[in-house]
Structure 1
Amino acid sequence: MTAASIFALLPIGTAHAEGVLNIFNYGNYTSPDLIKKFEEKYDVKVTITDYDSNETALAKARQGGNDFDIVVPSSSFLNVWIDEGLLLETRPDQMENFKNVDPRWVNVYFDPGRRYSVPWQWGTTGVIVNKAVYSGDPNTSAIFLDPPAELKGKVAVLPEMIAIITLAISYEGGKDICTDDKKLLRKVRDRLLAARESWVAVDFPTDEKYTSGDYAAGVAWNGGALKVRLLDPNFVYGYPKEGYSYWMDNVAVLKSAPNAENAKLFQNFIMDPENAALISGYAGYANGIAGSEKYMPEYMKDAPEIVVPAEFVDKGSFAPACSPEINDMYTKIWTEVLK
């Protein structure tokens, strides 16, 4: 080990930090128990500011003028943050707890070798259906793109452009998620516009929206679907057979972070298996830290929302970061759908 790498490890293992840490993350996605434990360990006061989408977080960072230290970009966006010079190269790969990162999440395409980010949580984007309302096959994007009569007017769709357009491209037979095929994109646009008439909402629904009967189906993240099923076993999570997305959210440090050292401490802190389990136990998603499973709630260990059924494993893929030109085309489609 070089002297430089030894020096990089010392602050993580020995420092007693003071001050503050400002986290910018999705709403209802950060375990209060995790934050309390971090605050007590390092004498750091943590504040959390919510955002509702990757697009919102990126736009806010580009504007500057904020005091955020930590941000949690998804795998399909992290390349953009890095390429635009918005992140600090914190070298998590040299931190004390990096040894706990599951090998499958080390040499990832969105941050090879983990020079900027550490795993937060990972999951899938699929659909959720109330089987008491619709007893047909839930494993299809037709649930929201061509809803059966029982579900029309009862479908909620996440306001996540990339997630929805990715599902629609796969549904229309597209093999390349970042596509500039004009004919295919016209079909995707027309499909979404027609389906929009059957949606009751485009939002981030609370569990109660489903369990109260306001929504009978929707596009959902697997952890959110798990929470709903625990409240009402009539709900099932579907893996669209036409294709669906895997994703991973990752903790990174802004280059403008006023509390960068505390942010590095936090990166190392969440690579501890017990701490990673707190993250998963709160939000309901898997994480990328080996050994965390034994600390997680029992109901998560074999949940069909968390453990992808064998027949659907190969139907999913990671959505890559598309070029600005392709993102512009997608944005035009999405804007038209939301009118």
Structure 2
Amino acid sequence: MPRLLATAALLALATGAAAQSRQLQLYNWGDYTSPELIAKFEAETGIDVTITDYDSNDTALAKVRAGGHGFDLVVPSANYVPIWVELGLIQPLDHSRLPNLGNIADEWVDVAWDPGRAHTIPWQWGTTGIAVNTSVYDGDINTSDIVFDPPEELRGRINVVPEMTDVISLAILNVGGEPCTGDREILRQVRDMLLAAKPHWLSMDYDSEAKLSANDIMAALTWNGPAMRARLNNPPVRYGYPVEGYVVWMDSVALLSDARNVDEAYEFLNFIMEPENAALISNYARYANGIEGSEEFMDEVMRDAPEIVVPAEHLPNGVFLPTCPAEVTDLYSQIWTQLLR
């Protein structure tokens, strides 16, 4: 009898330990999640968070569509959210489980890509533009010609972030087209311009920040967050807003339809809508977020940073990307494939 009791006690302890082990699987862009945020969430909730990185919207979409991933939350860009919804890969949110939903800033609530925030909540938003080391080039940096028709000083010293939608959209704007255009003549101009420009680029990868910081490159087509981080390391780096048009975007968090840790996911979603916690995300990656009141918790350098607060004269040139029709995306993919050869 004592042996049976001891065995039962051990089983009870093991079952209790298993019940107390709470997990969350976050699938997010690389170098985009604040370690301080995660540490705080784990300490307050007892939930262990595992982060898996991806490098593009297409990578994330393909991975989840393939199944067997085990992720609970994903962070797609706005123009991809309708695709995730249409494919049934993310589930509608139960707003009754998100008491902090009222902290979302008004302009980010009833958004075109997710009306009423039925499926997502804000993570961060920013722009895609041009970063330049002004110690080498003292000309106008507010033009995408820096990358698509580089001045002599910058040739062979440029990095382009390999995100198809951003690069092709900036190129379309450069030649006077509209985002998601299927105009074959416009797209021919875009293809020819990109293929002519590529020999003047040093690289196509995601690490513009490190390269700009170390003076390994002198210009980049990149996002505003890495540009700001590079400037803090290397003051001559400046961020330009192309007069031809630049991209405005928002990444948002969604609950996957096959998520296993749903309760934990809701706790995390509600947690990151606390202004102080949203500020931790921004302080790490150097982007704005969509949570009202988070500004007062941000680092001082964020308050008036030109990479975060778009100068008034450049506001009219920002373009929020729509979701392109599949046939248009196919045309872009053809151009992209040629560019990557």
Instruction: Normalising by structure 1, report the TM-score.
Output: 0.93
User: Offset at 1:196?
Assistant: 0.5
1:33 equivalent in structure 2: 36
- Supply the distance in 1 between the matched residues of 2:234 and 2:47 (Cα, whole angstroms): 39
Unaligned runs of 5+ in 1: 1-15
Q: Does 1:118 align with 2:104?
A: no
For 2:202, what is the secondary structure of its paired residue? strand
Quickly say closer, same or farther: Cα 1:271–1:223, change in 2 above 3 A: same
- Answer yes or no: is 1:51 the counterpart of 2:76: no
Matching residue of 1:68? 71
Partner Cα separation in structure 1 for residue 98 and residue 255 of structure 2? 14
Alpha-carbon distance, 1:92 to partner: 3.9
Alignment of 1:224-235 (within 5 A): 224-235=226-237
Distance in 2 (CA, whole Å) between partners of 1:165 and 1:224 is 20
Aligned residue number for residue 329 of structure 1: 331
Measure, in 1, the Cα distance between the counterparts of 2:284 and 2:172. Answer: 32
Return closer, same or farther for 1:151/1:206 CA change in 2, 3 Å cut-off: closer
What is the match of residue 160 of structure 2?
Answer: 157
1:1-339 residue pairs with structure 2 within 5 A?
19-92=22-95, 95-174=98-177, 176-339=178-341
Residue 329 of structure 1 deviates from its aligned partner by 0.4
Deviation at 1:17, TM superposition (A): 8.1
Distance 1:17 1:132 in 2: 56
- Measured after TM superposition, the shift of residue 260 of structure 1 is 1.4
Is contact 1:26–1:53 with CA below 8 Å preserved after alignment?
yes
Q: Helix, strand or coil for the counterpart of 1:197?
A: helix
Displacement of 1:275 in angstroms is 0.5
1:93/1:312 Cα in 2 relative to 1: closer, same or farther (>3 Å)?
Answer: farther
Count of matched residue pairs: 323
Of 93-102 and 47-56, the range deviating more from structure 2: 93-102
SS of the residue 2:203 aligns to: strand
Contact 2:157 2:219 in 1 (8 A): yes
Q: How far is 1:208 from its partner? A: 2.8
SS in 1 for 2:170: helix
User: CA offset at residue 211 of structure 1?
Assistant: 2.3
Bigger-Rg structure (1/2)? 2
* Cα distance in 2 between the residues matched to 1:137 and 1:54: 31
- Residue 177 and residue 206 in structure 1: after superposition, are their counterparts in 2 closer, same or farther (change >3 A)? closer
Q: Which deviations, in whole Å up to 9, do the C-alpha atoms of 1:303-338 show, x marking residues without a partner?
A: 000000001001001101101111000000001001
SS of aligned partner of 2:38: helix
Partner SS, residue 107 of structure 1: coil
Query: What secondary structure does 2:88 align onto?
Result: coil
Quote how far apart the aligned CAs of 1:94 are.
6.0
Per-residue displacement from partner, 1:150-207 (whole Å, max 9, x unpaired)?
A: 0000010000000000000000001x21111000000000000000010000001253
- Taking the aligned partners of 2:21 and 2:144, their CA distance within structure 1 comes to 49
Equivalent-residue separation in structure 1 for 2:228 and 2:95 (angstroms)? 31
Distance in 1 separating the partners of 2:270 and 2:301: 27
Asked whether the equivalents of residues 110 and 117 of structure 2 are also in contact (C-alpha less than 8 Å), the reply is yes
* Identity between Structure 1 and Structure 2 (%): 52
How far 1:18 sits from its partner (Å)? 5.1
Change (3 A) 1:17 1:77: farther
Separation in structure 1 between the aligned mates of residue 132 and residue 28 of structure 2, nearest angstrom: 27
How far apart are 1:40 and its partner, in Å?
1.4
Q: Deviations over 1:123-145 (max 9, x none)?
A: 00000000011110000000100
Offset at residue 226 of structure 1 (A) = 0.5
Aligned 8 A contact 2:208 2:222 in 1: no
CA distance in 2, matches of 1:235, 1:128: 7
5+ residue gaps, structure 2: 1-18
Return the alpha-carbon distance in structure 2 between the equivalents of residues 91 and 111 of structure 1: 14
Counterpart secondary structure, 2:258? coil
Please give the alpha-carbon distance, in whole angstroms, between the structure 2 residues aligned to 1:65 and 1:324: 25
Q: Is contact 2:104-2:290 (8 Å) kept?
A: yes
Three-state SS of the structure 2 residue aligned to 1:317 is strand
Cα deviation for residue 246 of structure 1 reads 0.5
